[in-house]
Amino acid sequence: MSGETLRVVGQRVRKVDGIELVTGRAKFAGDLVFPGMVYGYAARASVPAARIKGIDVSAAEMSDGVLLALRGGDIPGPNIIGILPPFDQPILATEVIRYVGESIALVVAESREAARRAARLVKADLEPLAPILTIDEALAEGARAIHPKGNVTCANRLVKGDVEQGFAGADVVVEGTYETSHQEHGYLEPEAVCAVPSADGRMTVYASCQSPFHLRGHIAANLGVPASSVRVVQAYTGGSFGGKDDVATEIGSLAAVAARRLDRPVRIAHEREESIIGSNLRHASRIHVATAAKKDGTILARRIRVLLDGGAYASESPFVTVKALVHVAGPYRVPNLLVESTSVYTNKTYSGACRGFGVPQSTFASESNIDELARKLGIDPLALRRKNALKAGDANATGQTYPASVGIVQTIDAIEARRGALPPLPGNDGRWRYGRGVACLLQGISNGAEGVDVVGASVQVSQDGSALVGVGLTDIGQGARTVSAQIVSEILGIPLPRVTVRSVDTDSVHDSGPTVASRNTTVGGQAVKMAAMEVRKSLVGMAARMFKVEGPLVDLRDGFAVLTVDAAARIPLSDVATAAYWTGYPLMNLAFSKAPDASFDHETHQGSVYIAYNYGTHLLDVRVDTRTGAVEVLRHLACHDVGKAINPLGLEGQIEGGSLFGFGLAHLEEVLFRDGRIVNANFADYALPSIKDRLPTEAMTVEDPNPTGPYGAKGVGEPPVAGAAAAFANAVADATGIRFHRLPISRQEILLALKANEGKG
């Protein structure tokens, strides 16, 4: 690796774990079978709020094939899960029911059918409470407290400059309230775990999950054993998007407790309905935005209030609330800014992490408002955004500045250049209305304000010159293993087929925290790079001795150590590795990548929060059918500043997939509650985008290298969601002349609004 030319990083490469997926050989957690395995199935609450007087499992226990029925009191440990304080969520509810679908008992039986049948026989003696189902009900004076400390999960403020003064000097103020609904992750694989006890007292849990170390901690605590006696192995995971965290700890703990009691392997595999009602959703939101600007479009100040409906338990609400707080002002210079962000409890399925983590909701609100400002001032929407866009050295919402890798202007320019070359949209005729929307966004990469950010990675080279890589973050479909393999291949010159990246096993990698915040490539990749660089020293040092030259004259590439001055002089890496082994050079390294700590004022949220931001600009053209309200997306340009694309093929997949996720939020998807009960907990009634709904996304990138990421890379898993959702809303507003203030902007909503407008006309 000469440092100038990259051979593997930056190439379009196939997924390193692709063959087992296209052949169906990959074992997901629900595919695993162990001798003597039995099946767990939860009994769930059927009312949204009640005091529990008793839970009777005797009939279930008598049912055919049933081996065990667990209630909350049977959990040896604290019967609590949760990723963050306040740790308010029981595994099995014992005193109070807070949402429909909450687990109240687990039945374990010889077959899945027997367990399922018996779970229906669990009887709960309940004293119903009036459910609290909306943000307003939760915040109403005198409202019943869903949790002892009240109905506010958390409340944060961001204060920058003097917002009153900013508004006082304004030529124009644009104000609006914007709402979004709950979204379901909709990963194709419902949650599943399999807990396998072993004779030495240890417990191994194979799990479809996102953050294996969360599972290990909770499972150990709830078993009442040391963490060192629990091993969590991530099985192939069929999508997660933030959704397989809390619920994986719930079923992982339950399966482990049952497995210990029975001394038999226990599998819990959710059905689709359970996956929707019994695991977290995306927060619904109501966001009020007021923006003050000068006539020339310069933003002077923004005053924003974010309210998030977090459902029955805290889950990741505290972090989502902060993420919304920090992102809602957008990728702009806003000298005077006041944001209040609050999350509340309601008696609904809890909300937590979901691809974008508060940013899609915030971006929809902020970008709708910016669009209204552009319209009011008669300024081109892209030009207005460009005028206010952050540049390197500018203070962002938290007052943080970056010397580089602030690529928002480049993404605007790239979209602008493309827009300039496009034919004009057709004019509206009787039936069809055409419109174009743009949206800009930013998304913080790394845990940042959400906690310490350490990743451990190991690289070991065998005597045959192959490499084994372990990293503490998970591949949940996004292609993380491939990125790690490319980095190791690049540094050690080992061809990709000879680099193996293990799945996460808590026994053999360092606790690297959760796989969240688009941090896998950025922070995880850095750890892999560091470990590989250490092993490289041994290989280069050994090869130099073999060549009888100085180390700098040796390069590793294509499976050989070569002389930089004479590429024909080469030694197979297997010979170098073997010699290094017999010479006693270390061929394994464990490295830690630690992102700089966030340091900010908790009262004002001013300070350093994230190690980097991904920036993006989306453009979306639509055609609206005024007879049916149907929207056809004619064009979608999605441009992101990714720092450096490690695997452009995988990166495009992230942008295309993330965009459709956002389009679903904006147009198709809504978890519908009636009296606190989800009434569309299946894929017939919940409109997951199908192949016919796909966007004509054209993924574009600009690369403004991020000094904190490997080869300058920044994560891209989450950011496209916000861009596509907000651009869609703006495109529909442009086409119809109607500003929609709530997502999803469904076909039906559009038709109703068009009809109402006709009436006025």
Residues that bind another protein (CB under 8 A): 12, 14-15, 17-28, 30-31, 33, 185-190, 236-239, 241, 271-272, 476-479, 649-650, 652-653, 656-661, 682-684, 688-692, 694-697
* CA separation for the pair 260, 240 (Å, rounded): 27
Is the CB of residue 714 less than 8 Å from the CB of residue 522?
Answer: yes
Q: Closer CB to another protein, residue 656 or residue 704?
A: 656
Q: How far is the CB of 681 from another protein (least distance, A)?
A: 11
Q: Closer CB to another protein, residue 70 or residue 622?
A: 622
Q: How far is the CB of 11 from another protein (least distance, A)?
A: 13
Q: How far is the CB of 115 from another protein (least distance, A)?
A: 14
Q: Closer CB to another protein, residue 114 or residue 408?
A: 114
The b-or-e profile of 207-235 (16+ CB within 10 A means b, else e) is: bbbbbbbbbbbbbbbbbebebeebbbbbb
| Strand partners of residue 467 | 461, 499
Q: Closer CB to another protein, residue 112 or residue 419?
A: 112
Q: Closer CB to another protein, residue 30 or residue 131?
A: 30
Q: Closer CB to another protein, residue 652 or residue 704?
A: 652
Do the strands 599-600 and 172-180 form a parallel or antiparallel pair, or are they unpaired? unpaired
Closest CA to 326 of 135, 596, 517, 85: 517
Q: Closer CB to another protein, residue 277 or residue 459?
A: 277
Mention every residue, 6+ apart, whose C-beta is less than 8 A from residue 147: 86, 88, 345
Q: How far is the CB of 727 from another protein (least distance, A)?
A: 15
3-state secondary structure of 18: helix
Q: How far is the CB of 24 from another protein (least distance, A)?
A: 2
Q: Closer CB to another protein, residue 162 or residue 271?
A: 271
Q: Closer CB to another protein, residue 48 or residue 101?
A: 101
Q: How far is the CB of 120 from another protein (least distance, A)?
A: 16
Q: Closer CB to another protein, residue 15 or residue 644?
A: 15
Mention every residue, 6+ apart, whose C-beta is less than 8 A from residue 486: 8, 9, 11, 13, 496, 646, 647
Q: Closer CB to another protein, residue 65 or residue 705?
A: 65
Q: How far is the CB of 445 from another protein (least distance, A)?
A: 20
Q: Closer CB to another protein, residue 579 or residue 649?
A: 649
Q: How far is the CB of 478 from another protein (least distance, A)?
A: 7
Q: Closer CB to another protein, residue 271 or residue 511?
A: 271
3-state SS string over 36-84?
A: CCEEEEEEECCCCCEEEEEEECHHHHHCCCEEEEECHHHCCCCCEECCC
CA angle 211/638/294 to nearest 5° reads 105
Q: Closer CB to another protein, residue 26 or residue 579?
A: 26
* CA separation for the pair 516, 130 (Å, rounded): 36
Name the amino acid, one letter, at 1.
Answer: M
* CA separation for the pair 618, 519 (Å, rounded): 22
**Whats the size of the chain, residue-wise?**
761
Is the CB of residue 472 less than 8 Å from the CB of residue 458?
Answer: no
626: its two tokens = 């005024």
Is the CB of residue 629 less than 8 Å from the CB of residue 747?
Answer: yes
Q: Closer CB to another protein, residue 303 or residue 618?
A: 618
What is the DSSP track for 514-544? Answer: -S-TT-IIIIIHHHHHHHHHHHHHHHHHHHH
Is residue 757 left, alpha or beta, with left meaning phi > 0 and alpha meaning psi from -120 to 50? alpha
Is the CB of residue 501 less than 8 Å from the CB of residue 469?
Answer: yes
Q: How far is the CB of 22 from another protein (least distance, A)?
A: 4
Q: How far is the CB of 14 from another protein (least distance, A)?
A: 5
**Residue 571, CB half-sphere, CA atoms under 13 Å: how many?**
23
Q: How far is the CB of 15 from another protein (least distance, A)?
A: 6
Read off φ and ψ for residue 29, nearest 5 degrees.
Answer: -60, -35
Q: Tell me which H or E stretch contains 158.
A: strand 152-160
Closest CA to 630 of 679, 710, 692: 692
* CA separation for the pair 329, 317 (Å, rounded): 19
Q: How far is CA 412 from CA 9, 322, 396, 633, 722, in A?
A: 26, 26, 17, 20, 16
Q: How far is the CB of 579 from another protein (least distance, A)?
A: 33
Q: How far is the CB of 623 from another protein (least distance, A)?
A: 17
Q: How far is the CB of 655 from another protein (least distance, A)?
A: 8
Q: How far is the CB of 725 from another protein (least distance, A)?
A: 14
